[in-house]
Structures are given as C-alpha cells and as structure tokens.
Chains A and B, each alone.
Chain A
Amino acid sequence: MGYVAAAYTVVVALVLVYALTLVARQRLIDEMAEAAATDEAGR
C-alpha cells in the first residue's frame, strides 16, 4: 500500500502546488490592476 499511497500523494500534491501558484499569480495580477487603476485615477 506504501507505493500506492506515495503515488496518490505525489500527484495530488503536484496539482495542489500548481493550483496554489495560479492563486498567487491571480493575486499579483489583481494587485497590478489595482495599482494601474490608482495611477490612472491620479492622472
């Protein structure tokens, strides 16, 4: 069962790490969009 557990853990972890990078990237894009909007309003 150890190999099976290892395979499922590694694959689920891979997908989760990728999903988390997408969430982090989205936050960064939202922050950049907000900063751009603030710049636009200040001009």
Chain B
Amino acid sequence: MRPLLAAATLLMLVGIAWALLAAPTEVFQGLPQRIMYLHVPAVVTAYVALLVVFVGSVLFLWTRQARWDRLAHSAAELAVLFITATLVSGAIWGRPVWGTWWSWDARLTTTLVLWFIYIGYLIVRAWAPGSRGARAAAVIGIVGVLDIPLIHWSAIVLRTLHPQPTVFRPEGPALPASMLPPLGVNLAAFLTLFVALLLLRVRQERMLARLVEQLEAA
C-alpha cells in the first residue's frame, strides 16, 4: 500500500506541475482551462469508484459474503470524495468561463443527483449497520450507477451549458495532442490514489469486522 501511495503522490506532483507550468494555454479560455487536468481525472476516477460499488453490491447480494459489502462501502466513500472534487472543480472552472458558479443544466444537475444518491448510501450505512443496512445500501449502490449514462448522454442529447465530451469520444479525443500527456499523468495519479486509498479502507473495514467478531465472542 505504501509504494502505491508514494507512486500516487509522485504522479500527482508531476501531474500538477505539468498542468500548471508546462501545459499549453488554451486560446479561448486561457488559464482557467488548466482546471481540466483536475476535473476530468476526478470524474473518471469517480466513475471507476462507482463501477467498483456496483460490482461489489451485485456480488454481495448474490453471494452474501461480507467482503463484497466491505469493498462496495469503501468504494462508495471514495466515489463521494471524487464526485465532490468534480463538482467543486467544475464550479470554480465555470465562474470565469460561463460567468456563473452553477447552472441547473442537465449535466450539472444529474451529477449533483449522483452525489446525493451516494451521500444517501453513506447515510444508510451510518444509520443502519448490520446486514439490513448492507442490503439496502447495495440496492442504492446498484440503482445509483444508472445515473452515469444519464450524465453522459445529457450533454450530447440535450442543450447544456456544459460542453460535449472532448476526451472520451468514439472518434478519439478532440483535445490538442500536447494536452493529452499531462492529462494522462493526472489521470494515472488519481487512479493510483484511488486504488491505494481503496486498499487501505478495505483493510480497515476487515480489521473492524474482526474486532467486532472478537468482542461478540468474548
């Protein structure tokens, strides 16, 4: 875990330095466009975390093994962290470019709904411990993922303030080639950080479960 955390820290330092000091300045937006090097990796990492929640929740409901629940719970906590980073960085990017911190357009609203769904997931975990809470949370974890296609298609199908996808498109990225390497490093940094924190969090949940078992047996 420590080598992973060290790798994530190193990648993040390189990625941030590259994004702030060496990446090209975009012609229309100017400096605020550099927030993209945070915003895009944050949302991709949030989606990966939600995919882990989905897989963990499905496997928990199927097998009833607590380890899948521990995986889903840990990933949900990280998903909330990265969705928060997405919303906050997007708002700060929106102010100089759109002239507003927030707009109730389809993409922003569906992303906020996603955040609320997983805040709800964590509230259920906190207020209903045990297998009943785990089952309810697993259902929320599965249903919540359905919001991701809505978020993705909202900017394509509907007229939104948020631009259409420029990185992950079937026809390839629309970004200039010189912006892709710093974006790639930041994406690798966020994903490495996610894996490191997830492993740490799952280990904590396992240790806690063992402690509870010990206390109940005593």
Interface residues of A, Cβ cutoff 8 Å to B: 1, 3-4, 6-8, 10-12, 14-15, 18-19, 22, 25-26, 29, 32-33, 36, 39-40, 43
Q: Are B16 and A8 in contact (CB under 8 A)?
A: yes
Given A29-B207, A33-B211, A36-B215, check contact A3 B96 (CB 8 Å): yes
Contact of B93 among A7, A33, A39 (CB under 8 A): A7
A29 pairs with B81, CB closer than 8 A? no
Contact A26 B89 (CB under 8 A): no
Contact A11 to B208, CB < 8 A, known contacts A1-B31, A3-B95, A19-B197: no
Interface positions of B (Cβ within 8 A of A): 16, 20, 31-32, 34-35, 38-39, 42, 81, 84-85, 88-89, 92-93, 95-96, 193, 197, 200-201, 204, 207-208, 211, 214-215, 218
Residues of B within 8 A of A26 (CB): 200, 204
> Bound complex: CA of A43 vs CA of B96, how far in Å?
65
Inter-chain CA distance A10–B154, complex, in Å, is 27
Please report the C-alpha to C-alpha distance between residue A2 and residue B207 in the assembled complex, in whole angstroms.
43
A32 to B95, CA, bound (A): 46
Distance A20 CA – B60 CA, assembled complex (angstroms): 29
Q: Are B211 and A29 in contact (CB under 8 A)?
A: yes
Shortest CB-to-CB span from B191 to chain A, Å, is: 13
Quick check: A4 and B20 within 8 Å, CB to CB? Answer: yes
Q: Are B38 and A7 in contact (CB under 8 A)?
A: yes
Bound-complex Cα distance A30 to B206 (A): 13
A4 & B32 in contact (Cβ 8 Å cutoff): yes
CA distance A16 to B197 in the complex (A): 11
Q: Which of A3, A11, A36 contacts B214 (CB 8 A)?
A: A36
How far apart sit A19 and B32, CA to CA, in the bound complex (Å)? 27
The distance from the CB of B138 to the nearest CB of chain A, in whole angstroms, is 22
Q: How long is the Cα–Cα vector from A15 to B46 in the complex, in angstroms? A: 13
- Is B38 in contact with A36, judged by CB distance below 8 angstroms? no
A10-B208 contact given A18-B197, A22-B197, A39-B218, CB 8 Å threshold? no
